[in-house]
Amino acid sequence: MSRAATTVLGAPVERREGREKVAGHARYAAEHTPSGCAYGWPVPAAVARGRVTALHTAEVLELPGVIEVLSHENAPRLGEPDDPTLRLLQDDRVPHRGWHIALVVADTLENARAAAVALRVDYATEEHDVLLTDRHPGLYTPEEANGGYPAVRERGDFEGAYAAAGVRVDTSYSLTALHNHPMEPHAATAHWHDGRLTVWDSSQGSGSVRDALAQLFGLDRTQVTAVSEHVGGGFGSKGTPRPPVVLAAMAARHTGRPVKVSLPRRQMPAVVGHRAPTLHHVRLGAGADGRITALAHEVVTQTSRVKEFVEQAAVPARVMYVSPNSRTVHRVTSLDVPTPSWMRAPGETPGMYALECAMDELAVATGLDPVELRLRNEPDTEPDSGLPFSSRHLAECFRVGRDLFGWQHRVDAPGVTREGDLLLGTGVAASTYPVYITPSSATAHAGRDGIHRIRVNATDIGTGARTVLAQIAAEALDVPLESVSVEIGSSDLPRAPLAGGSSGTASWGWAVHKAGALLAERLAELGGELPAEGVTVTADTREETSAEPTHARHAFGAVFCEVQVDTVTGEVAVRRMLGVYAAGRILNARTARSQFIGGMTMGIGMALMEGSTMDERFGDYAECDLASYHVPVCADVHSIDARWIEEDDPHLNPMGSKGIGEIGIVGTAAAVANAVRHATGVRLKELPLTPDKVL
C-alpha cells in the first residue's frame, strides 16, 4: 500500500458538506420550490378505527388560497404498493388514529394548514384495541421477524438444562414504544414535467423512492427521478418511502402544479414508523462458575392492521453467549395502532437491553463481577449457526474499557456510594450489531482536469458518507483526496442501496473501491494519455456480495457508565460513559466517533427519558412532539467518549470495515439501567427511568 493510501483511509477528515450546511447553503427536500409550487397539508384521522363517512370539502374550498382537497373520493388511483402503508387516499378505511385521510392543497403553507384544520370529517367509529399484553388473545408466532430471521429457534433442551441449572435467573423487562424523531421531519417536493416525475425527498434511499413511485403511478423507472441530496437524520424512519412523497406526487399530478408536503412533526409519530413496544421474558441457567447452560429469550410485540412488522428483539441472544441449550421466540399481535418499523438498531436495541440487564442479574446471583461473567461466556463460534466469527474482539473491548474507565475502583456492594443526597453507581453492558452488505454499483471517471469523479446513489443522512466514500476512492485509486469528487443522492446515479442497517458505507464503499481500482488499472494501461472525454469505468458488486457466508460477521462493543441518582428528586444523570467498539477497520476517525457517541446518546435517551405512552381510550400515543417526547440535550450528556480496537478482518469487504451507525445505541440503555441498580440496589425493569419510577 502506498503512502497516500495508508494516510487517507482512517484519517479524521472533515465532512465535505459541513461548511455548506452550517452556512445554510445545503438544500434539503423542503427547500426546493419549483415555480408555481403549491403546498399540501395532510389531514390525519381523528379516530382510532372506523370509516370516513363524509368530508365537508365544499366549505374549505371556499377558504383563501385553497386549490383542492384530495381524498379517497377524488385522489388519483394508485398501483398496488409493496408497502401497504403507502396505499394512501384509496378508500374510506381508518386503520389507526393519525392515518392520512385527506390532503389540503393551497397556494401557501399557512392557507393549506388553516383549511386542513377547518375541514370537518364525519366518521363511523368502531371499537379499537390498542393495548399490548403478554396475554393478548391475538398473539401468534409469525413466519419470520424483521430482517428475515426465523421467529423461533430452539437448540438442545432448554427446559431440561434450565431445570438442572445450579443458578437460575427468571426475569421480565418491558419497553414502551420509541419514536425516531429526526431533526428534519419528512418532506417532499414533487414536480411533473413532460410525462416525468421529479421528487426531492427526505429519504435514506432515493432508489427505493423512485421504484415505489414508478409502481404507484404506473411509470417506467426511467421516468422518475428521486433526489435526496441532504437529509437531516432518519434513524430508520426514512429507510422506506413515506407518505409525504406519495401525497406530493398525487397532488402534483391532480393539480398540474408542483406540490410540496412537509410533514408537521405532530403527524410524524403515526405515519413514519417507530420502535414497537416489546415485552421480554429472559431465563438464564448457569453453573456456580457463571457459565450459561440454558438461555431463553421470549419476546412479545405488536404490529398494526396495515402491515406485519416484527421487532427481532430475541435475535441478539442467538449471537452473544455460550448457550448449549437455547430458545429464542418472537410472538406478535395486530392492533389498531400505527405501523412500527425500523428505529436505530431494530432488534438489537430492545433485545440487548433485556439480555444485558438479565446478565447483570446473573452476575448478582453468582456473585461474579459483571465483566468477568461476560468474559466467562464468550463463545468460540456463533452459538446459533455454529459458524466461526470473522472477528470477535468483545473480550478486548471489555478489558480495554475496564482499564480506561477505572472499573477496578468499583465497590461491589450496591446502594452504598453516596455524595450528599446523591447515590452513585456504575454499570456495564455489551453491544453487538450484525454486518449487512448489499449489492451496489458505482462509476469512476478520470478527466484531463485531474479530477476523479465518483458517482453512486449513496445517501448521506448526516453521517459523513460522502466524505468516507471520497476517502475510499482515494485509497483505491492511490490519488490525493482533494482530486476526488463524489456525487451522491439521486436515483439518476448508479444504483445503490439505502443508508440503513449500518450497511451503507460497506455496500457503496465496496462498489466505489472496485470502480476506483478498475479505473487505476485503466489509467496505468493508458500511461497518462487520456482521451478528451476522459475514462469511465463501472463497477457492480452483485457477485461479490452474493456469496454464502462462511463466517458469522458482527461488530461488538462494551459500554461502561457511571450514574448519579438524586434521592430527593429522583433524577438520574449519566456522569460519564465510555464505549469501546470492535467494528473492523475504522474509515474516518472523526465521523466514526460521532456515530458512536451519537448512538450512545440515543441510548441515554432510551434509558432515561424517551418513551411513548399508549392512551387506551384515545387510541394513540400521547407524546407526539419534542415538548412531550423528550430526547437528550447537551446538558444531559456529561462526559462521553468512544474508543475502538482496530480489527484486521479479511472476511468483510476490501476496506475491512463493519457498520458503525447503529451499534452505539445497542447495550447503552442496559449499561445505564445496570448502573442505576448498582447506585440504588433496586432493579427497575421498565424504561425510561424517570423520577416517578425512581422515587
User: Where does this chain bind ligand MOS (CB under 6 A)?
Assistant: 204, 234-236, 239, 342-344, 346, 500-501, 662
Q: Quote the CA–CA distance of 578 and 107 in Å, as a whole number.
A: 51
CA–chain centroid gap for 167, Å, is: 36
Closest distance between ligand MOS and the C-beta of residue 508, in Å? Answer: 14
Q: What is the DSSP letter of 565?
A: E
Q: Quote the CA–CA distance of 140 and 177 in Å, as a whole number.
A: 20
CA–chain centroid gap for 310, Å, is: 15
- Which run of H or of E encompasses 573? strand 572-582
Task: Kindly tell me which of 209 and 517 has the beta carbon lying closer to ligand MOS.
Answer: 209
Phi–psi pair at 612, nearest 5 degrees? -115, 130
Identify which of 447, 444, 596 has the alpha carbon closest to the alpha carbon of residue 516: 444
Non-local (6+) Cβ contacts of 137 within 8 A are none
Neighbour count for residue 413 (Cβ, 10 Å):
9
Task: Kindly tell me which of 225 and 240 has the beta carbon lying closer to ligand MOS.
Answer: 240
Task: Kindly tell me which of 50 and 236 has the beta carbon lying closer to ligand MOS.
Answer: 236
Closest distance between ligand MOS and the C-beta of residue 275, in Å? Answer: 9
Provide the β-strand partners of residue 626.
none
Identify which of 1, 26, 10, 6 has the alpha carbon closest to the alpha carbon of residue 505: 10
Q: Judging by DSSP bridges, how do beta strands 572-582 and 637-645 pair with one another?
A: parallel
Task: Kindly tell me which of 282 and 663 has the beta carbon lying closer to ligand MOS.
Answer: 663
Closest distance between ligand MOS and the C-beta of residue 236, in Å? Answer: 3
Burial status of residue 491 (CB atoms within 10 A of its CB: 0-12, 13-18, 19 or more)? buried
Task: Kindly tell me which of 236 and 516 has the beta carbon lying closer to ligand MOS.
Answer: 236
Task: Kindly tell me which of 258 and 500 has the beta carbon lying closer to ligand MOS.
Answer: 500
Closest distance between ligand MOS and the C-beta of residue 240, in Å? Answer: 10
Q: 582 is written with which cell numbers?
A: 470492535
Closest distance between ligand MOS and the C-beta of residue 235, in Å? Answer: 6
Q: 360 is written with which cell numbers?
A: 447483570
Q: Quote the CA–CA distance of 444 and 453 in Å, as a whole number.
A: 6
Closest distance between ligand MOS and the C-beta of residue 564, in Å? Answer: 31
Q: What residue is closest to ligand MOS based on CB?
A: 236
Q: Quote the CA–CA distance of 583 and 433 in Å, as a whole number.
A: 9
Q: Coil, helix or strand for 293?
A: strand
Q: Coil, helix or strand for 223?
A: helix
Task: Kindly tell me which of 498 and 655 has the beta carbon lying closer to ligand MOS.
Answer: 498
Q: SS3 helix, strand, coil % of the chain, rounded to 5?
A: 30, 25, 45
Q: C-alpha angle with apex 148: 145 to 154, nearest 5 degrees?
A: 65
Task: Kindly tell me which of 251 and 272 has the beta carbon lying closer to ligand MOS.
Answer: 272
**What is the CB-side half-sphere exposure of residue 274 using CA atoms within 13 A?**
30
Neighbour count for residue 683 (Cβ, 10 Å):
17
Provide DSSP, 171-212. EEEEE-BB----SS--EEEEEEETTEEEEEE--S-HHHHHHH
Active site residue 378: no
Identify which of 103, 121, 117 has the alpha carbon closest to the alpha carbon of residue 39: 103
Task: Kindly tell me which of 343 and 676 has the beta carbon lying closer to ligand MOS.
Answer: 343
Q: 87 is written with which cell numbers?
A: 396505499
Residue linked to cell 433524577: 571
Closest distance between ligand MOS and the C-beta of residue 315, in Å? Answer: 14
Closest distance between ligand MOS and the C-beta of residue 428, in Å? Answer: 25
Closest distance between ligand MOS and the C-beta of residue 91, in Å? Answer: 30
Closest distance between ligand MOS and the C-beta of residue 402, in Å? Answer: 30
Closest distance between ligand MOS and the C-beta of residue 204, in Å? Answer: 6
Q: Quote the CA–CA distance of 409 and 404 in Å, as a whole number.
A: 11
Provide DSSP, 87-155. --SSSSEE-STT-EEEEEEESSHHHHHHHHHH--EEEEE--------TT-TT-B--SEETTTEESEEEE
Active-site residue, from 31, 382, 662, 686: 662
Task: Kindly tell me which of 539 and 606 has the beta carbon lying closer to ligand MOS.
Answer: 606
Task: Kindly tell me which of 40 and 241 has the beta carbon lying closer to ligand MOS.
Answer: 241
Q: Which amino acid is at 358?
A: A
Task: Kindly tell me which of 85 and 426 has the beta carbon lying closer to ligand MOS.
Answer: 85
Non-local (6+) Cβ contacts of 235 within 8 A are 180, 181, 182, 343, 344, 602
Identify which of 559, 557, 342, 348 has the alpha carbon closest to the alpha carbon of residue 461: 342
Closest distance between ligand MOS and the C-beta of residue 51, in Å? Answer: 33
Active site amino acids: 662
